[in-house]
Structure 1
Amino acid sequence: MSVICIFGDSITYGACDIDGGGWANRLRRYIENKSYYEDMVYILGVDGDTSESLLERFNRECFARKLNIIIFAIGINDSLFYNKDIKINLTPLDTYKKNINKLLSKAKEYTEKIIFIGLTKVEDLKTNPFLDSSTGKCYQNSLIIRYNEALEKICLEKNLLFIKVYDLLDNSDLEDGLHPNAKGHEKMFKKIKDDLIKNKIIL
């Protein structure tokens, strides 16, 4: 029996996917149906979550569940900034890398099966600034790439599975320039599912 916890932000909990509830929920349905509900998946995505806020809740979430697989999808909110002229990230890149390593240390207290999902791209014209934000949030691909590359490098150094999704989505797959729509979430689900099967994480 597998107990899988998926940690992330609003993309993980399925924002803007009114059809399937997000890539993680589609993955949950696939895994639980395939195992006849012997395997369980907990979707622990929180709107606006960063590596910092995930660190704060991580042990509490894990302690409540006897998990043996952890999937992380975190970082796009770390890369955001509020002043498009100054571009000071919410979480500086060096701090983000330290937080990821701290999360890894915590995760290894529960399991050795740890997977990271890479960051998704945005549509710069709609996210710099993000048109749906009342606080002036900005997301920019040139910065997201730096966080994504840093995350991939850590995974390579630690011999962890890193599932690349940055080049997976087109602008037409984004609902508001930031969050994938139903088609985008379906693409993410298929890619993530296939990579998990290929690496014998799931059946």
Structure 2
Amino acid sequence: MNLLVVLFLLKLLPLTVVETVFKANSGKEIETFSSMGDKLKIVAFGNSITATRSTIDQVFAQRLPSLLLEQGIEVEVINSGIPGSHTGSIEDHDLFKIKHGMDRFETDVLAHNPNLVIIGFGTNDAHIDNAGPDGESRIPLKQYKRNLKFMIKELQAQGADVILIAPNGLRGKYPEYQNVRLKQYVEVVKKLAKRYHTGLLDNFKLFYDYYDGKENRAEEILLDGVHPNDKGHALMAEEISQEIVRIRKLRNQ
């Protein structure tokens, strides 16, 4: 075998390279490991809590690259959050004339061939528009579970890791029966995460623990009783980044 053939074959081998990069705003050199320079591709899929917004400096998805780079993980994050979105389709509940979770799962998630997907739905699914505590949720609980289960299984079949976000509780003007209903959806997320061995951010618990029973503390992390502010997104991003690090370590065992 001549030298040219050997060199050609070496180029085909999946090499792991070490890159030296500079941590943002510090000048400190750190080493990151990647397969031929490829970044971990992450899709953040969800509703207005995932989507970017003008009143927020950085939502959690925008904070992940710098947090993960500190851990030596280079990522590309695609934000596929749309305000008003639930897990179903527009035929299931059409208050918001948009493409919902099942409508756009193929184009907004699978088409990107992600390594990891963060799924954050539930606030809109669980919401009761009228009729008080006995009213119907926009997406019934069983359908919500079925939709999430479908997404998880499709992604895992393609080799992608999944992190589920359980929605945070509502504060301020929202009646407590909305949280009673929402908690049922939170439990579905937690059970699915356990059953399918996905990552989990229990935002309901994370924010509740932050409040520590003090209602006025909600204003510190929520814009309007529903959506996290910058501090709330920073809390979320920190927890999610730790889940990603944990998942990648398991992958590399």
**TM-score range, shorter-chain basis?**
0.7 to 0.9
Tell me, yes or no, if the aligned pair for 1:79 and 1:139 is still in contact at 8 Å. Answer: no
Q: Which moved more, 1:87-96 or 1:101-110?
A: 101-110
C-alpha separation between the residues in 2 aligned to 1:43 and 1:148?
22
Unaligned 5+ residue runs, structure 2?
1-37, 89-99, 212-217
TM-score (norm 2): 0.67
Tell me, yes or no, if the aligned pair for 2:45 and 2:81 is still in contact at 8 Å. Answer: yes
Kindly report which structure 2 residues correspond to 1:11-26, keeping only aligned pairs within 5 A, or say none: 11-15=49-53, 17-20=55-58, 22-26=59-63
RMSD between aligned alpha carbons? 2.5
The match for 1:30 is 67
Asked which structure has the greater CA Rg, the reply is: 2
Q: Structure 1 residues 187 and 65 mapped into 2: Cα distance closer, same or farther (>3 Å)?
A: same
The match for 2:190 is 152
The match for 1:48 is 84
Q: Percent identity?
A: 26
- C-alpha offsets along residues 166-201 of structure 1, whole Å, 9 cap, x if unaligned? 122231211111111111111111122223223336
- C-alpha offsets along residues 41-95 of structure 1, whole Å, 9 cap, x if unaligned? 1011011111112111111123532321111111111001111524210001111
Query: Partner letter of residue 26 of structure 1?
Result: R
Q: Does 1:72 align with 2:109?
A: no
The match for 1:131 is none
Q: Structure 1 residues 17 and 109 mapped into 2: Cα distance closer, same or farther (>3 Å)?
A: farther
Kindly report which structure 2 residues correspond to 1:1-203, keeping only aligned pairs within 5 A, or say none: 1=38, 2-15=40-53, 17-20=55-58, 22-31=59-68, 39-52=75-88, 53-85=100-132, 86-123=134-171, 125-128=172-175, 140-169=178-207, 170=211, 171-172=218-219, 173-200=221-248
The match for 1:135 is none
Q: Give 3-state SS (helix, strand or coil) of 1:199's partner.
A: helix
Query: Partner letter of residue 44 of structure 2?
Result: I
Unaligned 5+ residue runs, structure 1?
129-137
Query: Partner letter of residue 127 of structure 1?
Result: Y
Q: Structure 1 residues 79 and 139 mapped into 2: Cα distance closer, same or farther (>3 Å)?
A: farther
Query: Partner letter of residue 185 of structure 2?
Result: Y
Tell me, yes or no, if the aligned pair for 2:68 and 2:241 is still in contact at 8 Å. Answer: no
Higher strand share: 2
Tell me, yes or no, if the aligned pair for 1:16 and 1:175 is still in contact at 8 Å. Answer: no
C-alpha separation between the residues in 1 aligned to 2:113 and 2:72?
17
TM-score (norm 1): 0.82
Q: Give 3-state SS (helix, strand or coil) of 1:168's partner.
A: helix
- C-alpha offsets along residues 123-176 of structure 1, whole Å, 9 cap, x if unaligned? 0x4234xxxxxxxxx982111111010111111112222222212223121111
Q: Which moved more, 1:58-67 or 1:97-106?
A: 58-67
Query: How far does residue 106 in structure 1 lie from its aligned partner after superposition?
Result: 2.3
For CA contacts below 8 A with separation 6 or more, give which structure has more relative contact order.
Answer: 1
Query: Partner letter of residue 3 of structure 1?
Result: K
Aligned length: 190
